[in-house]
Amino acid sequence: MNFDFDKFLNLFLYSRENPMIFNSGFFIFLFFVFLLIYIKLRNSNNIRIIYLVLFSCYFYYKSSGMYFLIMLSVTLWDFFIARRMYVENRRFVRKLLVIMSVAANLGLLAYFKYTNFFYEIFCNLTGRNFLSFDIFLPVGISFFVFQSMSYTIDVYRRQLQPLDRIEDYAFFISFFPMLVAGPIIRARDFIPQIRKPLFVSCEMFGKGVFLIMSGLFKKAVISDYISVNFVDRIFDSPELYSGVENLFGLYGYALQIYCDFSGYSDMAIGIATLLGFNVLANFRSPYQSASITEFWRRWHISLSSWLRDYLYISLGGNRRGKIRTYLNLVITMLLGGLWHGPSLRFVCWGAMHGVALAVHKFISGIGIKFTKEGIVIDFLKNRKDAVQRASGIPAKIKRISGVFFTFHFVCFSWIFFRAETFDIAISMIKQIFTFFHIEVFPQMVKGYATVFIAMAVGYVLHFVPEKTEQKAINIVTAAPLILKTAMLVAVILFIMQIKSSEILSFIYFQF
């Protein structure tokens, strides 16, 4: 058998059709080699930091080709702007510097994500023929740009002291577990860990193994399977299916996007943990939320908290009256929707969530009390007043009903997030509300039995109490080191096994 050196060499080169992702055999091979050397360098901080930066750059090259130079440009630009801004005492100069940082970062996003979007609008307004520009969206640009902007804004606000070493800032921006799909890590949380001595306790190793296994199961076993075998078929042609099939296709997508994105976050955080870094969770069972406000405290936590701290608060937050608060919520979510992509579908999705947040904020300021005379409604002055007025409905019933309505609102909004066009979204809504045909349900379950089993397992695991999930983590953490190693090897072998089948890219790579 002849060894094909060119084919072997091509494995290490960028391929637009096959970007490197966590759940691929090639990444597992590279990461294993990288980890062996990384551990050997545990007593040489400077070399270890530079080594990880170089590996991160290569990882991004394998994901987006030569666009890794854009990441390096952002790193250099914001590093030197932050240092100049910190020593500058003139307020207008400091403001000019932070504007330069934000403008450069948003300018990159605008070019790569929105050039065709705005050009199409311009052509429609002027009656010209629209021919899209061939602009490739670098993977993860939205994440590392937001990360870098938060650093310069924090330095501008005097909440953070800038770094002295360029390699430390490059480490923060390019840290490969978080580079292409988050979570968006904050400088104040991550930077203090960079130069700490490398130490991975048995507990950290156990947690890392558990998160990698959990993320892989969510992505490869649940998300990909129900996507290929059910969800994609429904969303491609909703008019070919009954309303009940469309509804369960929607339930399937709600589970798919959660398992896909939270699965990536779990693997990213797990890999970071194995490298000796603590990263905050990005998801906390979001479909258990009893209100839309709670949902955004549990879903994509790193983005929602970023929007809150750097957009909502910058707009005035809740400091300028109730009407302005509601408006700020809507604007924040509108821009959050636009962050996901250059499409009116995402704007609509963001607007729905913004209005829902504003409505919930308004309702939270109203007291409802059930009396013999009827329902009494008044405006509340404070939280104590709210607790006194919140009587007449048992807490469990309120919680369950809140979870039910919040889940279905979120699912409804997912229609616009997932559908390729508005026409498809409207078609799906029409099928659900005018062509339901519940009698098709038994036949649907029988025809998609394996899919429904996967969905049932996914939702059951999702609604498991957090205490139970923590017990599972503790069991893995408390296992002997050799057993943890065996679990990790089993995960690697499992990844290699599923490599023979089609591996779908992560949904959030497109954002």
Tokens of 89: 């005492």
Q: CB–CB of 136/14 below 8 Å?
A: no
Whether omega for the bond prior to residue 177 falls within 30 degrees of 0, making it cis, is no
Q: CB–CB of 142/511 below 8 Å?
A: yes
Q: Count other Cβ atoms within 10 Å, centred on residue 238.
A: 27
3-state percent helix, strand, coil for the chain, nearest multiple of 5: 75, 5, 25
Closest CA to 176 of 212, 219, 209, 144: 144
Q: Count other Cβ atoms within 10 Å, centred on residue 354.
A: 23
Closest CA to 282 of 300, 258, 256, 261: 300
Q: What separation in angstroms does the CA of 403 have from each of 23, 316, 398?
A: 32, 30, 9
* 78 vs 151: CA distance, rounded Å: 8
* 191 vs 353: CA distance, rounded Å: 33
3-state secondary structure at position 374: strand
Taking each continuous run of H as one helix and of E as one strand, the counts in the chain are 24, 2
DSSP calls for 440-471: GHHHHHHHTHHHHHHHHHHHHHHTS-HHHHHH
Q: What separation in angstroms does the CA of 293 have from each of 102, 380, 479?
A: 28, 18, 38
Q: Where are the alpha helices (DSSP H) in 393-510?
A: 395-418, 422-434, 441-447, 449-462, 466-478, 481-498
Q: Long-range contact list for 405-413, CB < 8 A, 24+ apart?
A: 406/289, 406/290, 406/291, 406/292, 406/294, 406/295, 407/254, 407/287, 407/289, 409/292, 409/356, 410/254, 410/286, 410/287, 410/292, 410/295, 411/250, 411/251, 411/254, 412/250, 412/352, 413/349, 413/352, 413/353
Tokens of 454: 């996967």
Catalytic residue among 300, 340, 353, 462: 340
Segment (H or E) for 367: strand 366-371
Q: Report the amino acid identity of residue 100.
A: M
Q: CB–CB of 350/292 below 8 Å?
A: no
Segment (H or E) for 118: helix 91-126
340 is catalytic: yes
Q: Count other Cβ atoms within 10 Å, centred on residue 38.
A: 18
DSSP secondary structure letter of residue 391: B
Q: Count other Cβ atoms within 10 Å, centred on residue 253.
A: 26
Residue numbers annotated as active site: 340
